[in-house]
Structure 1
């Protein structure tokens, strides 16, 4: 049994379970004659902060009894308290709740939410999506169902950690019945098709440079749309990746993680096309004068404003439909990043170099994503077997 130390002070009693790693601090407080426990704090200071907030709610009469609060009310509090997620992620979670979760789970009391409720919700997403018309049988895709379920699961894990519920009801759902996504190989084109589409579409849209950069650098869509000329060093032939443009927004954000901040070498061909594109933008600046909104962006509108991701994708699909060979699949703008990786790996480039260019946190991440593209080494192995056996064919 874990040894528990009580730390008494003028502001209450806090406990530290010495044998428990991670977040050992917790506290208890009396609410309407009942003892309420909150667990999962990394330090005593964090536990005190939560205890003070709970006490303040009690004094203001704003404390909500966990046995009476609905899942919808709890979800709102849970999301508001997630200060470690980006604004875009928060918006996505809220959208999931508004479109899907609220109607089917929102009014159920948190303490009474069951595994059966969650299973019915999953079935609804798979069969009807956001449509409730009788007989409608087309639901959301596996990836969408998995993402929505994961948000519900995460919120209930937090509720369990804070002892608002005794156990996350999703734990009772059999593993085989939980949403999952079968791993699929990325759709890529052969090199001749890439060359044909890029050559044929050049000059048809101002966003052509964005597609070219995706293939030639492996940068993410937001990184390309947030790239500024100040980050392009023509003399050293490099691009410094340090910011990203929020999807369909006009504001920047930091890149995905520390490994995403990187310097990418660019080819002479890429340097040439970037200089050509820069000249076009300089002409637009002179033409519009004061009306031009100079954000120093490489990819932008004719007025200098940030390019919307949806518009860039729309133009890419136009190019696909018009110029790609009939035997090639229709791929997304994001798939061009994978096209870049496939070209490098098929050319036997060092996996560590590829991983760094893509901004992956580890080489293992690159291997997990692109292992099917790596040479197996079996070509030389089978020749060794031939030499060893040495039987002639008559």
Structure 2
């Protein structure tokens, strides 16, 4: 391929207004004028590789510089790299996201948000071929500064996820030989320590399951809390996947949620398609749930149907055999399951919520509806924002208008809910015993992992039960929960090594 160079300028003919280009007389003067450009005609057999019939470059101060750039581009072509011309980072990111056909709905939504809100505004017009680490350093500083001015600042966790999105996109650009290297590798972000997972303790999971025992989805909560099944996997669980003789549930699909749209997809990872061993109590709960579902199906009659959802390819799939449904047989939207879990968790241990401000030294409080099967007479803990601040003793209950009740107290309210300096109690404070701290539905899955690890179950087995793609992911998520196991291992090693002398123990 022959390199052709020429020198042109932007001067215009005063009569026609057209550019003179290489006809300008000043190009032959002694003073620098105009810029050099190069052009290469691509052989027909290389056009599919290069992606165009001609390669061009312009804006060089000297002929040598133009020829050198042309040689560099030729070297990339010979190495199999495409010539991307003026393709910008923004254009490439749009093309890249469109090409990701295996992305799960939640991942696609996250990538789209990162590209639209953070990457394209600061990097969208930069040519992909010229993208360098200094461009990225400046962009991430701008993202950080712009985020700080928002009502909800863009935190370091979000910035790290945005960086990961860009890194994934540019890694694919390298694989496609659009660029020679990934400049994200040279970017340093502010230090960010990922917060440790802090799920409920075993007794708190027990309190939740006790409260959920009368819920029509009680068996689902056991699957999630005890066996670490994902929300979407529980929604997509089917009766043909249950082997009651072996006490095993096979996870084969999940219900996904993207905005207001739902779909039925394979599990999150290849390892997600797995067999989950069940304990006798959970198996019994599932079999009892099936009997209840049979009764609901019989009552619904011909209208019982699980529904139809698109799969990962957009093709409609008629659902059948779902374990957990609405009373009319329709599939459960994942977001409903999350909302339902919050309702149950908030109710666990709760007596009532304060509905009218209680002034300092008041001898009574006005609350909303009282939880069923809980005798209000007795001692209760007063909570503000789910934090205990003291105790009160209820001596009498009077029904007021609507569902409100007056609770008479043995002693007037004071700071902390007991004796001491007086303080008002605001609307929204709660009376209860052992109220659960606020957690997400996904934290039930974390709790299952935590309990398994604390009980000494092997990390590889826990990873398999959770459906993680590798034990490394499980270890990274729950490393802080392995400390007791590490201490047991240290003691076992020390006890296994015979020694006749030991160093003196410091006093």
TM-score by length of 1: 0.73
Specify the alignment match of 1:277 in structure 2. 289
Specify the alignment match of 2:165 in structure 1. 151
Counterpart CA distance in 2 for 1:31 and 1:259 is: 45
Q: Does 1:183 align with 2:194?
A: yes
Bigger mean CA offset, 242-251 vs 381-390? 381-390
Specify the alignment match of 1:357 in structure 2. 465
Residue-by-residue CA offset, 1:46-79 (whole Å, 9 max, x unaligned) = x9xxx8xxxxxxxxxxxxx844333222212222
Counterpart CA distance in 2 for 1:208 and 1:140 is: 38
Specify the alignment match of 2:222 in structure 1. 212
Counterpart CA distance in 1 for 2:436 and 2:493 is: 32
Bigger mean CA offset, 185-194 vs 383-392? 383-392
Specify the alignment match of 2:253 in structure 1. 243
Specify the alignment match of 2:242 in structure 1. 232
Counterpart CA distance in 2 for 1:39 and 1:211 is: 59
SS in 1 for 2:275: strand
Specify the alignment match of 2:273 in structure 1. 261
CA drift at 1:214: 0.9
CA drift at 1:251: 2.5
Counterpart CA distance in 2 for 1:287 and 1:38 is: 69
Counterpart CA distance in 2 for 1:136 and 1:210 is: 39
TM-score by length of 2: 0.58
- RMSD of aligned residue pairs (Cα, Å): 3.8
Residue-by-residue CA offset, 1:299-326 (whole Å, 9 max, x unaligned) = 2222222222222112222223332675
Bigger mean CA offset, 365-374 vs 381-390? 381-390
Count of aligned pairs: 345
Counterpart CA distance in 1 for 2:322 and 2:217 is: 12
**Change in 2 beyond 3 A, CA 1:149/1:389:** closer
Counterpart CA distance in 1 for 2:268 and 2:331 is: 19
- Quick check: which has more Rg, 1 or 2? 2
List aligned pairs for 1:1-394, cutoff 5 A: 12=45, 27-28=49-50, 31-34=53-56, 37=76, 66-86=84-104, 88-111=106-129, 113-129=131-147, 135-136=149-150, 138-160=152-174, 162=176, 164-165=178-179, 168-173=182-187, 177-178=188-189, 181-204=192-215, 206-248=216-258, 249-294=261-306, 295-323=320-348, 329-374=437-482, 375=485, 376-377=487-488, 378-379=490-491
Specify the alignment match of 2:34 in structure 1. none
**Change in 2 beyond 3 A, CA 1:125/1:335:** farther
Counterpart CA distance in 2 for 1:40 and 1:196 is: 63
**Change in 2 beyond 3 A, CA 1:351/1:113:** closer
Counterpart CA distance in 2 for 1:102 and 1:243 is: 35
CA drift at 1:86: 4.0
Counterpart CA distance in 1 for 2:197 and 2:79 is: 40
CA drift at 1:269: 0.7
**Change in 2 beyond 3 A, CA 1:329/1:116:** farther
Residues 145 and 179, structure 1, Cα contact 8 Å, conserved in 2: no
- Greater helix content: 1
SS in 2 for 1:203: coil
CA drift at 1:187: 1.0
Residues 40 and 161, structure 1, Cα contact 8 Å, conserved in 2: no
Counterpart CA distance in 2 for 1:183 and 1:221 is: 23
Bigger mean CA offset, 342-351 vs 177-186? 177-186
**Change in 2 beyond 3 A, CA 1:154/1:260:** closer
SS in 2 for 1:255: coil
CA drift at 1:29: 6.8
Counterpart CA distance in 1 for 2:173 and 2:505 is: 71
Residues 39 and 161, structure 1, Cα contact 8 Å, conserved in 2: no
- Greater strand content: 2
**Change in 2 beyond 3 A, CA 1:278/1:312:** same
**Change in 2 beyond 3 A, CA 1:160/1:348:** closer
CA drift at 1:371: 3.5
Residue-by-residue CA offset, 1:182-204 (whole Å, 9 max, x unaligned) = 23321122222211221023224
SS in 2 for 1:251: strand
**Change in 2 beyond 3 A, CA 1:228/1:40:** farther
CA drift at 1:387: 11
**Change in 2 beyond 3 A, CA 1:11/1:86:** farther
CA drift at 1:227: 0.5
